[in-house]
Amino acid sequence: MPFPHSLRSRFALLIVLLVTLLSWLLGSLIGQNSSERIREEVGRDLAEVSLQMVDRLDRDMASRASYLQVLGSLRTLRQPQDSAEIRALLNRLQQEIPSIAWIGFTDPQGKVLASSNSILEGVSLAQRPVYIEGIKGLFIGDVHEAVLLAKLLPNPTGEAMKFVDISLPIMAPDGQIAGVLASHLSWGWAEEVRRSLLEPIQDRRNVEFLVLGRDHTVLLGPKAMIGQKLELSALQQTAEKDSYWAVQQWPDGNAYLTGFASSQGYGDYAGLGWIVVARQALDEAYAPARELMSSTVLWGSGLALLFAALGWMFSGYFTRPLREIAHAADRLSAGEITVIPDLHSPSEIAMLSQSIRHLVESLTHHETALGIMDNKAHSDPLTGLPNRAALERYLPSAQQYSQAHNGYLALLYLDLDGFKPVNDQFGHGAGDLLLKEVAARLRACLRDGDLVARLGGDEFLMILQVPQHEALQQARQIAERALHKLAEPADLDGQLVRIGCSIGGALWPLDHRDLGEALELADQALYRAKQGGKNRVEFQSQQPI
């Protein structure tokens, strides 16, 4: 045979297809499972590092407030006499805590008496929140811009400077307010926290981090987003959970794995409602899974080619005896006298050679057996009448014949009256004999071309070919004949029994163009016959044609 159609080539091709398909399925399953695992893992990581960062911010804010409270307990501030001494103390604190951009001490009226690097000394802060809120008690304000202070402080980057306020009242020994200790923390401190804590995961996974205010305004993040209000559906859950993650559609139209963590405060510090958000593009998150799937498919394809080559070589061992059998069979079909080779190579091939020897005899037996089986499959085993399968095969041809001869089909449903008492009184054996007798009598009522089938139990169906002009009359005559025949006594091993019959009829296509619906109408007519007193005929069509 030509190469493309040989068993060897098909066997090799089948191996290639199976191994490739298996590799693809395995790669897809691994990729999908890995994607889900990676998404879960990365999502949890993003939520965890977001929580770490917001916790670090809260702790740092709380510690800065604690430093100021400790500083406020010193005699130098509680009994302010020497502004130079206070300034030296504030300068030393600023050196120790570089994130303090400015710190100053005001008199009770809000005038700055001393400050770090003497900035704003003599200036009144009486109208500033840092004084107004600080004189009432410990005050920690949210991120804001301070234009005047920003002009006086060094700013190497040239970007807008932002600060966080911490202030508190200083009480004199007599219980009176000695002044207010006010400070501005540079918001750049948050960026330093982000870099120290998050740069490793950010570099490894290309992750972006943002800090949002209570109103979801971006305080820290990409420059293009700072100051904008972030609208994400998952942000509504920050009031219910400390940290969580979700896949979110961001305003830029891309989907990101996104981790969220909201500020919970630390110690006495209640927090400012900040939310840290970490995000990673889905393509970045799923990249390892895609690489794994590609590697699996690539290796699978290579193995498929290797196994195909091996299959090509080994298949020759099996195809050679098959070719010998095929050649012998060709000679037999050409009328030559030959013998199928008796092969002792694989047992399956030996069995094949033996089977071919008996092929003709087997086919003959099979043909006879199939005829018997077909007859049994379409006959009721008790009565010998056609069964439902035979009826379904017969109805289409009956329709075609009726249409070709401009006739109708009369459909007669028959149900025996009084059959159950015979079964109950004389037993099922007697009931079977009675059903055989009923079948014989119904056959006697038919004409050429008609059919009676047993539907089951004591139910039968007659299909009659009737002309259009006297369809109802002929159908009624045969129905009446059946009633009369079945009303005659039946001898069951010396016992005379009597039964009756109820018949419901319909005409196709007169009563309904759909044969199934016409059969249903005949069944309904049978029901009316039963309800009307039994042992009678009821037709859907009551008027003669």
Q: Is 326 helix (H, G, I), strand (E, B) or coil?
A: helix
pLDDT, tens only, 209-247: 888 888 888 888 888 888 888 888 888 887 677 788 888
CB of 259 closer than 8 Å to CB of 39 = no
Q: Of 124-133, 187-196, 349-358, which one has max mean pLDDT?
A: 124-133
Tell me which residue of 219, 281, 255, 283 sits closest to 53, measured CA to CA: 219
pLDDT at 262: 87
Cα separation of the two ends of the chain: 68
Asked which of 16-20, 68-72, 224-228, 536-540 is least confident by mean pLDDT, the reply is: 16-20
Report which of residues 203 and 90 the model is more confident about. Answer: 90
Bridge partners of 386, per DSSP, are 379
**Residues 16, 165 share a domain:** yes
The answer as to whether 530 is a domain residue is yes
263, 291, 324 - which closes a domain: 324
Q: Which amino acid type is present at position 87? A: R
User: 53 falls in which pLDDT band (50, 70, 90)?
Assistant: confident
Report which of residues 374 and 66 the model is more confident about. Answer: 66
CATH at residue 516: 3.30.70.270
Structure tokens at 454: 């047993």
Helix axes 347-357, 282-333, angle to 10 degrees: 40
pLDDT, tens only, 152-165: 776 655 566 788 88
Q: Which amino acid type is present at position 90? A: L
**Residues 507, 420 share a domain:** yes
- Which helix (H) or strand (E) element contains residue 327? helix 282-333
Calculate mean pLDDT across residues 320-340: 63
- Phi first, then psi: give them for residue 519, nearest 5 degrees: -60, -40
The answer as to whether 292 is a domain residue is yes
User: 356 falls in which pLDDT band (50, 70, 90)?
Assistant: low
The answer as to whether 44 is a domain residue is yes
**Residues 530, 411 share a domain:** yes
The answer as to whether 334 is a domain residue is no
pLDDT at 296: 63
Report which of residues 2 and 286 the model is more confident about. Answer: 286
The answer as to whether 268 is a domain residue is yes
Report which of residues 334 and 123 the model is more confident about. Answer: 123
CB of 229 closer than 8 Å to CB of 216 = yes
CB atoms within 10 A of CB 521: 22
**Residues 179, 303 share a domain:** yes
CATH at residue 254: 3.30.450.20
**Residues 165, 309 share a domain:** yes
Strand 162-171 to 139-140 pairing? antiparallel
| Sign of the dihedral defined by the CA atoms of residues 416, 418, 424, 427, in that order | negative
Residues 6+ apart with CB under 8 A from 256: 247, 248, 250, 279, 280, 281, 282
Total length of the chain: 545
Structure tokens at 489: 């006594």
The answer as to whether 354 is a domain residue is no
The answer as to whether 347 is a domain residue is no
Residue 275 confidence (pLDDT) above 70? yes
Distance between CA atoms of residues 388 and 415, nearest Å:
16
pLDDT, tens only, 287-326: 766 666 666 666 666 666 666 666 666 666 666 666 666 6
Q: Which domain holds residue 243?
A: 1-324
* Domain count within the chain: 2
**Residues 159, 86 share a domain:** yes
User: 141 falls in which pLDDT band (50, 70, 90)?
Assistant: confident
pLDDT at 352: 61
pLDDT at 94: 86
Query: What Cα–Cα distance (Å) separates residue 17 from each residue in 11, 14, 99, 212?
Result: 10, 5, 66, 54
The answer as to whether 332 is a domain residue is no
Q: Of 22-26, 155-159, 531-535, 536-540, which one has max mean pLDDT?
A: 536-540
| Strands of 293-449, DSSP E | 407-417
**Residues 406, 307 share a domain:** no
pLDDT at 202: 58
- Phi first, then psi: give them for residue 127, nearest 5 degrees: -100, 5
* Threshold 0.85, pTM exceeds: no
Calculate mean pLDDT across residues 66-92: 89
The whole-chain average pLDDT of the chain stands at 80
- Phi first, then psi: give them for residue 389, nearest 5 degrees: -60, -45
pLDDT, tens only, 432-483: 888 999 999 999 998 888 999 998 889 999 999 999 999 999 999 999 999 9
User: 508 falls in which pLDDT band (50, 70, 90)?
Assistant: very high
Calculate mean pLDDT across residues 354-367: 49
Bridge partners of 504, per DSSP, are 413, 538
Residue 368 confidence (pLDDT) above 70? no
309, 324, 339 - which closes a domain: 324
Query: What Cα–Cα distance (Å) separates residue 66 from each residue in 55, 139, 183?
Result: 16, 12, 13
